[in-house]
A and B are shown apart, each in its own frame.
Chain A
Amino acid sequence: MTLPQRFGPYGGRYVPETLVAALEELEAAYETYRDDPGFVSELRTLQTDYAGRPTPLFLARRLSEQVGCRTYLKREDLAHTGAHKINNTLGQILLAVRMGKKRIIAETGAGQHGVATATVAALFGLECHVYMGEEDIRRQELNVFRMRLLGAEVLPVSSGSGTLKDATNEAIRDWVANVETTHYIIGSVVGPAPYPTLVRDFQAVIGRETREQVLAKEGRLPDGLVACVGAGSNAIGMFHEFLEDPAVRLIGVEAAGLGLDSGKHGASLARGTAGILHGSFSYVLQDVDGQIQEAHSVAAGLDYPSVGPEHSYLKDLGRVEYTSATDAEALDAFQTLCRLEGIIPALESAHALAYLLRGGAGAHGFSTEDVVVVNLSGRGDKDVYSVAAALGARP
């Protein structure tokens, strides 16, 4: 095995024995194809001609003035389907096709990953079932309709809290039952090995492009990168390329929800302890008995009570600074970006902006000439109803 099973003590493969063979098959397929010229070239063509990569790096001038440093936005919101999620689903569907799988399953929270999965399943003519919590189905009606338009069946999950955690449980249970014909496209850098590595590698295109684009525009590396962290795929995708550049500060922003002390947040790194969820050892929001707690965030995509194992390791190493932003701060940042730059960000991405806006660049140790890139991981059209509800306004 050449792929790492772990990141320091984190990661691993804590799943029912039934799934181990499938994970080994996936790992072998990935090892075979990751450097295969046919695979690499098909993925690159799809990224370019279908998903619209490279996504632009935009110098946000009015935002820069307000923040107090040169602030760039990596425009993942302009990728096909409106978020970075397509990077991962394109890579995984190519593996699924090569493994001869006929059916695709996925879990989704906000619906962005479900839409990105339904999209690639349509593109390759594969049957697609997406598990989604009942609570999320209510919150994200628009994405449910998009998935159905794309030919996917959306399966409501009522167990547990009816959110992303429970949808993931149900997807894993489906996979256990149908493992011989089905590929599970997990949506983030979580789950049993090799998923955290595989999803990271497919998302790392964000950081590779960012490096080239910043070098071209500024003639040097950025001073800081900021990304929101739910389960953590857009952040890892942004950070991975820069891990070996110690001068580049990497900043991950978790969801503080109603406040870190309110018990209603999604800050697994800030307030979690090491444990196991969905097959991986990582920081987890859990009680003293190891029962998994419910996360909360105004951003459905950050509403997850654990985090990718590589983030846990990067936290312990101190390589990435992890901080958080509350629902209220994210809602403010959401509106600020709309008005300053004419861009409606996803509420998830608004958490990354909220960090910079809180006190401005100086408060975070950046000076006016410093270059900071915020990963604008998705667009906010999906969120206008939640924002309207939160602001007590009618859209």
Chain B
Amino acid sequence: MSAPAVSRLTRLFLDAGRPLLMPYAVGGYPDPGSCLEILRIYREGGADLIEIGIPFSDPLADGPVIQGASQAALRRGVRPVDVLDVAATAAGEGARVVLLSYLNTILAFGPERFFERCGEGGVLGVVVPDLPVEEAAGLQTAARARNVDVILLAAPTSTDARLARIAAAASGFIYCVSTTGVTGARASLRADLPEFVARIRRHTDLPLAVGFGVSTPEQAEEVTGFADGVIIGSALVDVVARNERLEEALAEIGRILYRVRRMPSLSK
């Protein structure tokens, strides 16, 4: 079976005609029911695509906020299968969903079965932050059979040779890591970020989404000046962590997304 020339995920970017707003949530955090409400607020707040992370015990690429939320979810007994259910429910309600999963979670689940569940649940793609392009082929075969994209990442430290290789193997979109560092808010973005994104652009026509360290509406606006999508993660997860009452968290998330949505490049 060969891959469609343009995947559903890529089509989403092409059809939007403007950069996509892509908020991230830790799946099942603070609990599966509340998580679904957070995802609804994301969608009402104008999310074009929602990224849902599967909590993992050892999240190497994540900073303290997402680590803390992941551990809290695990302590409550949230399992990968619960997050797949949350994702399927959100997709059933009309959200466009990608998952973020560390590789060990997928291996333990069984890649075939994992992507089968993704496909059935309407998940469009899976970001695997510890999967370098050299190791991606096996997962991509399993994913493609279910019409799901494995999203590859590019980093500012990636050489041009590696960017070419990533671009050649990628599908859906390319996740451009905005910083050398883990997820979490930064006071400012790297000065060479536009140059980095331009460097990837020379190797591919795929959409380029920027994440890691983007927290404010102003940063989102800056990023969408040169990228096709912006991922906001820790800043939103932190709202849930800081507010004991879910209603307050939901209201604050709504206010943040409203401000982001009103930035010029995202409100076209």
Contact = CB atoms under 8 A, between A and B. Distances in A.
Contact of A17 (B59, B71, B80, B158): B158
Nearest to A168: B58
Nearest to A294: B57
Contact of A180 (B67, B154, B180): B180
Interface stretch (A18-26, A35-43, A245-253, A348-356): A18-26
A12 B133 CA distance: 12
Interface in B101-149: 102-109, 129-135
A16 interface: yes
A288 B80 CA distance: 10
A276 interface: yes
Given A21-B162, A176-B181, A180-B180, A16 B60 contact: yes
A339 interface: no
Given A275-B104, A290-B108, 15 more contacts: A12-B135, A16-B130, A16-B155, A17-B157, A17-B166, A18-B177, A20-B157, A21-B155, A24-B159, A160-B58, A179-B157, A180-B157, A274-B107, A278-B60, A291-B56
A160 B59 CA distance: 10
Nearest to A279: B130
B8 interface: no
Contacts, number: 117
B251 interface: no
B127 to A, nearest CB: 11
A290 B104 contact: yes
A189 interface: no
A172 interface: yes
Nearest to B55: A291
B104 A276 contact: yes
A173 B158 CA distance: 17
Given A15-B130, A159-B71, A176-B180, A275 B60 contact: no
The dominant DSSP class at the A interface is mixed
B155 A288 contact: no
B208 to A, nearest CB: 14
B168 interface: no
Given A18-B155, A22-B157, A169-B60, A177 B180 contact: yes
Nearest to A277: B58
A176 B62 CA distance: 11
B153 interface: yes
Contacts of A278: 58, 60
Interface in A1-60: 12-22, 24
24 contacts: A16-B61, A16-B155, A19-B157, A20-B155, A20-B157, A20-B158, A21-B155, A160-B57, A160-B71, A169-B60, A172-B60, A173-B182, A176-B60, A177-B179, A177-B180, A177-B182, A178-B180, A179-B180, A180-B180, A276-B103, A276-B130, A289-B109, A290-B107, A291-B74
Contacts of B131: 14
Interface string B63-88: 11001000100100001100000000
A292 interface: yes
Interface residues of B, number: 43
Interface residues on A, range: 35 or more
A103 interface: no
Interface in A168-188: 169, 172-173, 176-180
A165 interface: yes
Contacts of A377: none
Contacts of A169: 58-60
A292 B57 CA distance: 6
Contact of B58 (A22, A289, A292): A292
B158 A21 contact: yes
A18 B156 contact: yes
A89 interface: no
A276 B111 CA distance: 14
B109 A20 contact: no
A308 to B, nearest CB: 17
B71 A177 contact: no
Nearest to A287: B108
B132 A17 contact: yes
A71 interface: no
A13 B132 contact: yes
A286 interface: yes
B58 to A, nearest CB: 5
B130 A18 contact: no
Contacts of B102: 276
Contacts of B182: 173, 176-177
Interface string B39-67: 00000000000000000111111011001
A173 B180 contact: no
A96 B132 CA distance: 24
B157 A277 contact: no
A21 B108 contact: no
Nearest to A24: B159
Interface string A275-312: 11111000010101111100000000000000000000
